[in-house]
Amino acid sequence: MSLRDKIRAGELVVGTFVKTPAPHVIEILGHAGLDFAVPDQEHAPLDLGAMDQLALASRAAGLPLVARCWGQSAARISPLMDLGCAGVMVPHVMDGATAKSVVEAVKFAPRKRGLSPSPRAGNYGTMTAPAYIAASDAQSVVMVQIEDVEALAHLDEIAATPDVDVLFVGPADLSQSLGCGFPSAELDAAIMQVVGAAKGAGIAAGLFVGDEAQIKGWQDKGVSVFVCGSDQGLLLKGARRIMAALRD
């Protein structure tokens, strides 16, 4: 079952952000059994060359990559799909028109994305164009991030955009936009607005959490897609645990 199939079925899926431009990290996370990983171009030094290596490692490890891209344009999104990423997470999507343009950069069906089976995603030209189009459109994941107070007024139209799979809350940016604490009751209420819109459209709600202990509570509230921490955070947590044990 593909990552998209799991998401569409409402299964709990858990990934982590990757901020280190090293393919070994992807291999290790794959061995750890995560459902997916999110290379973070928005907040880490991951250029297209680094993304190429991470995508290569993802295939070797069987770990789908949903790349958080630099921006919302097709020029930023489509090359990531050509590399073999399973999908994209796009920051600061505020309305249905933007969500539609994101889908057009990921999917071939709208006939806007440039077509070539020659990259890794098309198995270097060994797939026919029709087979490549069908497989890519069936399996590619579109996560749009809800991070701005302006987006809250457009949740229904964003969620109703065909082929959007996940409304994914970026709680840090959303709290900043709302002018409230992180965490806070006001932020939680906004997150529940997003969950409600996703549920109403029959798609998944996603959320970043800093610790795995937060997952169960939000899962009970209707969130099924989680990004938990990052590779850097996991490394830091493990090192701190060793030193704390020694000092005790």
Domain assignments of the chain as residue spans, ordered by start: 3-247
pLDDT score, position 151 = 98
Estimate to the nearest angstrom the gap between the alpha carbon of 34 and the chain centroid.
13
pLDDT score, position 139 = 98
Residue with tokens 């409402």: 10
pLDDT score, position 248 = 78
pLDDT score, position 37 = 99
Q: What are phi and psi of 109, to 5 degrees?
A: -55, -40
Q: Tens-of-pLDDT digits for all 248 residues of the chain?
A: 999 999 999 999 999 999 999 999 999 999 999 999 999 999 999 999 999 999 999 999 999 999 999 999 999 999 999 999 999 999 999 999 999 999 999 999 999 999 999 999 999 999 999 999 999 999 999 999 999 999 999 999 999 999 999 999 999 999 999 999 999 999 999 999 999 999 999 999 999 999 999 999 999 999 999 999 999 999 999 999 999 999 97
Distance CA 62, CA 82 (A): 17
Distance CA 3, CA 196 (A): 22
Beta carbons of 232 and 20 less than 8 angstroms apart: yes
Beta carbons of 3 and 141 less than 8 angstroms apart: yes
Beta carbons of 105 and 74 less than 8 angstroms apart: yes
H-only helix segments in the chain? 3-8, 23-32, 48-61, 74-82, 96-106, 129-139, 149-152, 155-159, 171-178, 185-201, 215-220, 231-247
The superfamily in CATH containing domain 3-247 is Phosphoenolpyruvate-binding domains (3.20.20.60)
